[in-house]
Amino acid sequence: MCGICGKLSFDLGATVDGGLVRGMLDTIRHRGPDDEGLYLGGQVALGHRRLSIIDLGGGHQPLSNEDGTVWIVFNGEIYNYRELRAFLLTKGHVFKTNSDTETIVHLYEEFGPQCLDKLRGMFAFAIWDEKKKTLFLARDRVGIKPLYYCLADKGLVFASEIKAILADPEVDRRLAPELVDRFLTFLYLPGEDTLFKGIAKLAPGHYLLAKNGEVEVRQYWDLQFAKAAGSRRLEDAKDELLSLLAETVQLHMIADVPVGVLLSGGVDSTAMLSFAVEGTDKEVSSYTVGFSDPGVADERPYAKLAAEAFGSRHHEMSMSAADFAAFMPQYVWHMEEPVCEPPAIALYYVSKLARNYVKVLLSGEGGDEAFAGYGNYRNLLWLERVKRGLSVSTGTVARGLSLANSVFQSARVAKYGPLMNSRFPDYYFSRTSNPYRYAGNGLAQLYSTDFARSIDREHTLEPVRRLQARVRSENTLDAMLYIDTKTWLPDDLLVKADKMTMANSLELRVPLLDHKVLEFAAALPSSLKVHGCTTKYLAKKALERRVPKRILDRPKTGFPVPYEAWLRKDLRGWVRDILLDKRTTNRGYFDAGRMEGLLSSSETHGGNFKEIFSLVTLELWHRAFA
């Protein structure tokens, strides 16, 4: 796990300043405090900050092939590197290290960009091919590792983090105000755009080639769902899944430093711990964070239960409202992309605890996206089935839902009413989406008159509209899983996972997002993912003899952080000081009176806490980067 950066000039006679790249590296020192390296090759310069995980003494980067014509800087881990190394030795390649990085260099020599098909792992890397005068950038299949780039007339700058790109004085620090509405609609930024004009994310499963001033981005992998999966014996699928999970966790345990497990008290992280302990003779440690606030699910008792069941050396902590507010400026600085993800702050603190003991953590992230673990998958799947089978009008059912809401006073019921007259997948934008938000953005009521006039809703929704068009032929469940794998997963969950752990110089690994696991899950029939009222059906069936019953049967809670109560009570003044400050209102996005109204309503009646957290995040982002 590391940080990479570099610059390519399109002028063959130019020389990129090494001092510039060293300055870029200084901004991402937290990603790799163990070592620093630089390659200067005239029109190109590559920089690397290293967090030593594999081949501690010999993995210095940048690293080259045998004759020094191909150079790489790499961030991530290749879990099948030993197998690849054995293959490459039969082809006559000479290795000078025992690192996974060197396998990529020699694979590129053999296969060019198609080397990506051979890699199993998480990665973002840059290869400079001196003979071809070509820069090759690549990102892993699902976006576990970040990679940003800025394309200008004179060249291309890239880095693991945006702040490193901004260290180049030739990069204009221009904001893209039209994307503010996109952020406040989704509460993260789906797609390849960032809030900086000209700075983009390389999309997951894509690579970029830059040569002779021409830049081309290509897709090399996509998640394919089985068109006619049909029936499949449950017992066979259980056996195959257990074997696959044992394999992927064993691969993710490869390291020359201690490895621990991040425990949330849920099914997925407990399963990861069970396979990790089973696959090693070394002691495994585990880490969790919890809260003692009333009405908030405390993960610590369940995490402790898992630790006792599998014999890990367990560590736990709690955090307060003061801790939450104190870290917010650093949260924004490390995340770089505004994201409404309060649990990310808890992840930072528990990572800080874990870093006292280990350099690598395993996480259960991704299991719900792969195997359909969220309640909205079940609810919308049934809603679409009802709509297809109705003999009465959908308007009648919508009115029935409205009546049910008036009786049960449930926002969970009410939100499905408008969907009765909406076509799937046109209303499905994200797992976390409230359908009302996409109808016009719930925060648009706060916009100033001038800013509201500047909004182009089609531009706001464009990244997900493209995905919706792509999945029209898929069944309902697979369509939702595909959209979330392309949006919510890389642009929210995985941004949080990478940025918050790397802020503590800690590597987070996600075995459930191994592409072999994702492809296995995508090939399953929907009935093995959502079965009746049970979500994540196959995974729970496969793990029922491995995961303690109290954990397996407990209701899904996510990663609860009591930020709603904190924003309403403990942090009420702090929120007001930020959102009603003249610096905030003078940006021209919001009407101060309407902002006051939103805060007063929330303080009195509750609600809108995600929106308020997002507004605070947006303002702190401007203060950090604008």
- Catalytic residue positions? 2
Q: How many helices (H) and strands (E) does the chain have?
A: 28, 17
Q: What CA–CA distance (Å, rounded) separates 532 from 292?
A: 34
Tokens 């049960």, residue located: 408
- Taken in order 431, 433, 434, 439, the sign of the CA dihedral is negative
DSSP state, 492? I
Long-range contacts of 100-107 (CB under 8 A, 24+ apart): 100/54, 100/55, 101/59, 101/61, 101/63, 101/72, 101/74, 102/63, 103/78, 104/72, 104/74, 104/78, 105/63, 105/64, 105/65, 105/70, 105/71, 105/72, 106/65
DSSP state, 555? P
Classify 8 as helix, strand or coil.
Answer: strand
Classify 207 as helix, strand or coil.
Answer: strand
Classify 479 as helix, strand or coil.
Answer: helix
Written as six digits, the tokens of 84 are: 């690849």
DSSP state, 79? T
**Closest residue by Cα to residue 575 from 539, 599, 607:** 599
CA 11 to chain centre: 35
DSSP secondary structure letters along 109-158: HHHGGGGGGG--EEEEEEEEETTTTEEEEEE-SS-SS--EEEE-SSEEEE
Q: Which DSSP helix (H) or strand (E) runs through 606? A: none
CA 393 to chain centre: 40
Tokens 């430093």, residue located: 257
The answer to whether the beta carbons of residues 72 and 41 sit under 8 Å apart is no
Tokens 């990244």, residue located: 463
DSSP state, 161? S
Q: Which DSSP helix (H) or strand (E) runs through 278? A: helix 267-278
Q: What CA–CA distance (Å, rounded) separates 524 from 508?
A: 27
Q: What CA–CA distance (Å, rounded) separates 242 from 236?
A: 10
